[in-house]
Amino acid sequence: MSLPTPPLKKLYVLDTNVLLHDPRAMFSFSGALVGIPIMVLEELEQFKRESSGRGKNARETVRYLDDLRLKGSLSEGVLLDNGGTLKILFTPESFPSHPVLKVDVIDNQILLTALAYKNEGYEVKFISKDLNARVKADVLGMESEDYLKGYVPEDTFYKGWISLQVPAVQLKQEFPDALRDLAKDKLLTKNEYVLVESQHNSFNYRLFRYIAAGNRDFKEVVMPRLAWPIEAKNPQQLMALDALFDPALEFVTLLGPAGTGKTFLALLAGLHAVLMTDVYQKMLVSRPVIPLGPDIGYLPGDLQEKLHTWMQPIYDNIEVIVHSASIAQHVQELRQDNGYEDERQQSDQNKKGKKDKRNGAGGKRRLMTVEDMMHNGKLSLEAITYMRGRSIPYQYILIDEVQNLSPHEVKTLISRVGQGSKIVLCGDPYQIDSPYLDFSSNGLVIATDRFKGESLFSTVFLETSERSELSKLAGELL
């Protein structure tokens, strides 16, 4: 028996890319009639064979539809728990033709099916993450919109820090008065950073993190003491290092344009925590397989050889860390040999030397090569595909290029974090290669927005490129 047509006859028609983005999208329209054109099922059939996140979402969508099939006829409509109705839309006999749109193109068939229902009296709203498809729908006289569940407007995006200009005299106080006013007026989010600058000299500043712990509202942020003489190059990098080196912050996101140091800082903190302080047993690094050209399956060699090619940016950053640490340490040793270190520094170095000798390091803190780290079980480079279903305890987990993952995929990754682990997500929300994601809908931005204010979470948006002057100009001019 057919379900009665709702009095309003409002119909939300979902495009394939919406379900590939969020398999639960069909349940997001409470009390409404939701239609999925039969051609969408044909496209899901093609995508579900992929080993990517898109393939996983296609398979999950089909499973939801299979569960609903047991509750009634999908062709006539199945009642949902949210009061809505889901229906598979077949091409009506009065299938409209169009002089421009080619009927043999599946995307056009989906649009023309939606148009046919509009011609039958339904108030159709076409939901798609494909901008071109939405433009076509508008040309055909249908309302269309992006799927905006989890949408975070770019102009209200949470950066994780604010700047504050004060008279220089306040910088001499333990906690500047302006800071206290912010806390009193509840204008800060927990673990949000405050860059307090002199009104007339931006190079004269102090940095604080709002912790709201007991009677103490703020913690002053200083450069973490590293075994290697490497330092932050700007205030935002200092914020990032503070968050990365705090074990209480189990989830950290770093966002920003290319060259700001996101991956470098995350790797630096991870290597230090694994190799020097033993906070974690191992560092696990992964990146999504969203290439600019053919994907990882087309690369030559076995899985490890493919991963080596795909993880080359990680190798590059680790080599930079090893090189920077070696050069800086060599300079420091030369200064010591020439008597430039003061007594306190020399005393500290002697203490560290004794500890290192007990560890068999000969008084010197040298980084291992990537191959040695992997051989000794301290570093693991893995494909995201193989992280599903796992529980990962006592590890420092770094996922790079997360702007190319959907919110559902990021949720899957965060839920893998086990006892005693820390997860760091890095990415540039302005540089997205996935065709159905943008600044406001990618998993990195959504996760940052959802977790803000949680005591175990911190985020930093890095603005200043430190890679090279050429890299900075490329970001500005191109």
Q: What CATH number corresponds to the domain at position 271? A: 3.40.50.300
195 shares its domain with 295 = no
**Three-state DSSP class for residue 396:** strand
Below-70 pLDDT ranges, the chain: 1-8, 92-100, 150, 214, 289-310, 328-332, 335-366, 472, 475-476, 478
Question: Which CATH number characterizes residue 70's domain?
Answer: 3.40.50.1010
Q: What is the rounded CA–CA span in Å between residue 266 and residue 402?
A: 13
DSSP notation for 111-160: HHHHHHHHHTT-EEEEE-S-HHHHHHHHHTT-EEE---TT---GGG---S
354 found inside a domain = no
189 shares its domain with 314 = no
18 found inside a domain = yes
pLDDT of residue 290: 55
Name the residue with tokens 């490890």. 304
Q: How many domains does the chain have?
A: 3
Name the residue with tokens 């609903």. 68
Q: Please give the structure tokens belonging to residue 373.
A: 């780290």
pLDDT of residue 434: 77
164 found inside a domain = yes
pLDDT of residue 465: 85
374 shares its domain with 248 = yes
129 shares its domain with 171 = no
401 found inside a domain = yes
Q: Which residues contact 248 (CB under 8 A, 6 or more apart)?
A: 455, 456
413 found inside a domain = yes
338 found inside a domain = no
Total-model pTM: 0.75
| Domain final residue, candidates 145, 174, 192 | 145
- According to DSSP, the residues that pair with 252 across neighbouring strands are 424, 458
Cβ pair 61, 406 in contact under 8 A = no
255 found inside a domain = yes
| Domain final residue, candidates 161, 192, 221 | 221
pLDDT of residue 60: 93
| Parent domain of 244 | 234-330+365-477
pLDDT of residue 293: 37
pLDDT of residue 354: 44
165 shares its domain with 128 = no
246 found inside a domain = yes
288 shares its domain with 416 = yes
The pLDDT tens digits of the residues spanning 220-265 come to 999 998 888 788 999 999 999 999 999 999 999 999 998 899 999 9
Cβ pair 276, 364 in contact under 8 A = no
- According to DSSP, the residues that pair with 126 across neighbouring strands are 13, 144
